[in-house]
Amino acid sequence: MSVNGNNLDRWYSHYAERTAGLTASEVRALFAVASRPEVVSLAGGMPFVSALPPELVTSAMERTMMNRGGVALQYGSGQGVPLLREQILDVMALEGISASVDDVVVTTGSQHALELVAKLFLDPGDVVIAEGPSYVTALVVFRSFQAEVSHVAMDEQGMIPQALRETIANLKAAGRRMKFLYTIPSFQNPAGVTLSWTRRMEILEIARENDILVVEDNPYGLLYFDSPPPHAMRSVDQDGVIYLGTFSKTLAPGLRVGWAVAPHAIREKLVLANEAAVLSPSSFTQLVISEYLSSADWRGQIDIFRGVYQERRDAMLSALQEHLPKLSWTVPTGGFYVWLTLPNYLDSKSMLPRAVKELVAYTPGTAFYADGGGRCNMRLSFCYPSPDFIREGIRRLATVINGELELLQEFSQTGPLTRREIERHYISPPPNLG
């Protein structure tokens, strides 16, 4: 190692300071292992795109090229195709949002929209308030702009309003500058829980009282199982909420089309930032999605996705009950994820190599905290593997967890941890998701 930090990179000393935040997430690091065919991956949040009939997309592509090929292959507007923006209004209406075409900015996936918001608002040393746990790549984005994340505790109803009040008070007392509150209120990633309507209203009121912008990220809201989640926070607050949406979960992530809906002045800056970053989002993929929405039964296709994911959720929950009945986990009513809580003396990150050896992968809870939390948690994704693979994956995971517990029990005879302490921690669930 050289004095410049890395003698393998000639340009190491030339990088901007903010690149120190560009580190590979634990989810990304897992992909190489989890993609091996013999490994049951409960790690990645990949939609099961095979449930989408390919002819729906190929026919939309063909009609796009036949009818609007010259436009599809050309540069477009930095705000997005007007017709698609009109159709996005129909999608958002399902969650109670009323907006105009001018309010919508199309982006290259909602991840890009989040990056643009961060670019507009975050200076080094700023604070983003977020649920704990929170979306792993959002944490990477915030860190890349040299911001810090302050987590707010959650329970089975989502972010706890009193904990939010206390967090804001502590940050104010410390003289910190809070730029926005980032939340995934419906079928949260990674916890799978949904913020209740009462709490949505209380959190909006807290944000208004403290002049804090709310960034509402909603990729899973239409993927409910039994009944829809509460309406979006944006549906009742147009001036204090930026709403992020995407077609990645309800159509296909490979098309890379998302959007943001923001207050007027912010929207104008989002368009400028979008043009500075990509000039314009892909005209081709926007028009393909527009054609799909015009010609296909897209609501019916979302129903199909719901059925697929509900079956897989049920397979995971039943397997957990069968193989790990003394642990605790969340019970999602939509989305992709279950949040599993281990005894507090187990470490999901250090346990992962043994799990991979047993041919099962998960995401350690530490990936979803900016402050090192989540060591006794793991995210389990039920969206992609078949129900049979999910059941086998949980069986393998139980082998790993029970093996760790047996090892601790064996050594507890001479160590500080007694068998009674092990069983007490093993049986008792934690008071919240942390």
Give pLDDT tens digits for 65-120. Answer: 999 999 999 999 999 999 999 999 999 999 999 999 999 999 999 999 999 999 99
Give 111's contacts (C-beta < 8 A, 6+ positions apart). 137, 141, 258
Give me the pLDDT at residue 430, please: 44
Q: Rounded to an integer, what distance in angstroms lies between the CA atom of residue 202 and that of residue 395?
A: 41
Amino acid at 391: R
Average pLDDT on 338-355 reads 94
pLDDT exceeds 90 at position 164: yes
Select from 308, 305, 312 the least CA-distant residue to 391.
Answer: 312
Which H or E run includes 148? strand 148-155
Q: Rounded to an integer, what distance in angstroms lies between the CA atom of residue 414 and that of residue 423?
A: 17
What tens digit of pLDDT does each residue of 387-425 get? 999 999 999 999 999 999 888 777 765 555 554 554 454
Strand-strand pairing, 148-155 and 127-132: parallel
Give me the pLDDT at residue 391, please: 98
Q: How confident is the model at residue 426 (pLDDT cuts 50, 70, 90)?
A: very low
Amino acid at 431: P
What tens digit of pLDDT does each residue of 200-222 get? 999 999 999 999 999 999 999 99
pLDDT exceeds 60 at position 372: yes
Q: What is the mean pLDDT of the chain?
A: 92
Q: How confident is the model at residue 364 (pLDDT cuts 50, 70, 90)?
A: very high
The SS3 assignment for 138 reads: helix
**179 or 421: which leads in pLDDT:** 179
Q: Looking up tokens 């309010």, which residue turns up?
A: 103
pLDDT exceeds 80 at position 225: yes
Give me the pLDDT at residue 321, please: 98
Give me the pLDDT at residue 27, please: 59
Q: Rounded to an integer, what distance in angstroms lies between the CA atom of residue 407 and that of residue 385?
A: 30
Please tell me the least confidently modeled range out of 24-38, 43-57, 199-213.
Answer: 24-38
What tens digit of pLDDT does each residue of 230-268 get? 999 999 999 999 999 999 999 999 999 999 999 999 999
What tens digit of pLDDT does each residue of 140-149 get? 999 999 999 9
pLDDT exceeds 90 at position 29: no
What tens digit of pLDDT does each residue of 148-160 get? 999 999 999 999 9
Average pLDDT on 349-359 reads 93
Amino acid at 410: E
